[in-house]
Amino acid sequence: QVYITKIKQLLKSNNAVLIAHYYTDPEIQALAEATGGFVGDSLEMARFGNQHSATTLIVCGVRFMGESAKILTPEKKVLMPTLEAECSLDLGCPVDAFTAFCDQHPDHTVVVYANTSAAVKARADWVVTSSIALEIIDHLDSEGCKIIWGPDRHLGGYIQKQTGAEMLLWQGECIVHDEFSAQALKQMKHLHPDAAILVHPESPASVVALADAVGSTSQLIKAATTLPQTKLIVATDKGIFFKMQQMVPNKELIEAPTAGAGATCRSCAHCPWMAMNGLKAIYTALAEGGQQHEIFVDEAIRVKSLVPLNRMLDFAA
Ligand code: MLT
């Protein structure tokens, strides 16, 4: 409570706004909402930060989200609770190796997920998020493009199946979604035969195959409201439960099981980097700022990465 009061004061005095991802902890999402900030997916966060009048953005999420905000609004100060909040997809797609891969296939259109570094985005023709990836690949396929897709192999494979597009896939994965287990999910469904299964497409194909609804965070929240079932088994980061439960207060939400549930799972369905966005860290970012918290992007890289990022935003508009 002490931090909440101080953060509210600092947001006002710094002309700052909190922008939080659905995967951050409930207290962070609640604070963003209570202070006129925003909670959403990475596409919506980028749009909100771009359009808001605040001169400082506090981006609560993982590093690429802060970078995207800085690429779009270089005139604003972009702070993060911690710059150590990484993403396994970003880490699994180093710019040198990815550039070499692209250079081997110069006739391919390079499409990268927003979950990448600014340098990787700068090498791309298009940036996409999970909420718009299917439409953009469908569009590129209809124009006869051959596609390089990076970094999430599960999402890439899902889109390839849905669209029939010709795609070369980088072999990255999200440590949260990669852990969902089809076998354990089948057992859970057996216990709750009346439940609908909602799955994020960063999950393995065997898990996606069991789904009643497949989609990005915002699409899964929408599906929760439209599906007739009152029990929902949800296979994505458990941070989503805060917003989903707000939207469907009378439905029962059940966490989908991970393969190594308990002591051995890598993430237990909550991103360890998203979990670093605590109240104390937000307070420190606002009170102290500086190299520990502020996002900077090399100007040459920023200008290049802005092109594919804007292409996505224009397509989504
Ligand atoms: C994002 O774009 O924010 C993440 O991929 C999660 C999602 O929204 O599906």
Is the confidence at residue 264, as pLDDT, over 60? no
With pLDDT > 70 as the criterion, what percentage of the chain qualifies?
97
Q: Is 68 in the pocket of ligand 1 (CB under 6 A)?
A: no
Mean pLDDT on 279-283 = 97
Q: Which atom of ligand 1 is nearest to the CA of 129?
A: 2
| Centroid of ligand 1 to alpha carbon of 46 (angstroms) | 12
267 falls in which pLDDT band (50, 70, 90)?
Answer: low
pLDDT of 263 strictly over 60: no
Mind listing the pLDDT tens digit for each residue in 196-213?
999 999 999 999 999 999
Q: Provide the percentage of residues in the chain whose pLDDT is more than 90.
A: 92
- Is residue 41 in contact with ligand 1, taking CB distance under 6 Å? yes
Banded pLDDT at 289 (limits 50, 70, 90): confident
For the Cβ of 117 lying below 6 angstroms from any atom of ligand 1, the answer is no
- ω into 151 cis (within 30 of 0): yes
Give the SS3 label for residue 114.
coil
Look at residue 245 in the predicted model and tell me its pLDDT.
Answer: 98
Do the bridges between strand 109-113 and strand 167-169 make them parallel or antiparallel, or are there none, so unpaired? Answer: unpaired
| Mean pLDDT within 261-274 | 74
Whether 217 is in the pocket of ligand 1, judged by its Cβ within 6 Å, is yes
219 within ligand 1 shell (Cβ under 6 A)? no
Dihedral (Cα; 186, 187, 188, 190), 10-degree rounding: 90
What pTM value is reported for the model?
Answer: 0.95
Q: Whose CA is nearest to atom 9 of ligand 1?
A: 216
| Residue 181 pLDDT exceeds 80 | yes
d(CA 153, CA 162): 14
Q: Is the pLDDT of residue 11 over 60?
A: yes
The model's confidence at residue 265, banded by pLDDT at 50, 70 and 90, is low
Residue 303: per-residue pLDDT: 98
Distance CA(100)–CA(309), nearest Å, equals: 21
Whether residue 152 has its Cβ less than 6 Å from ligand 1: no
- Where is average pLDDT lowest: 64-78, 249-263, 289-303? 249-263
Q: How confident is the model at residue 278 (pLDDT cuts 50, 70, 90)?
A: very high
Question: In the prediction, which pLDDT does 291 show?
Answer: 84
- The conformational region for residue 92 under phi > 0 = left, psi -120 to 50 = alpha, else beta, is alpha
For the segment 126-174, what is each residue's pLDDT rounded down to a tens digit?
A: 999 999 999 999 999 999 999 999 999 999 999 999 999 999 999 999 9
Task: Please report the pLDDT score of residue 122 as a whole number.
Answer: 98
Q: What values do phi and psi take at 260, rounded to 5?
A: -100, 45
The pLDDT, as a whole number, for residue 288 is 92
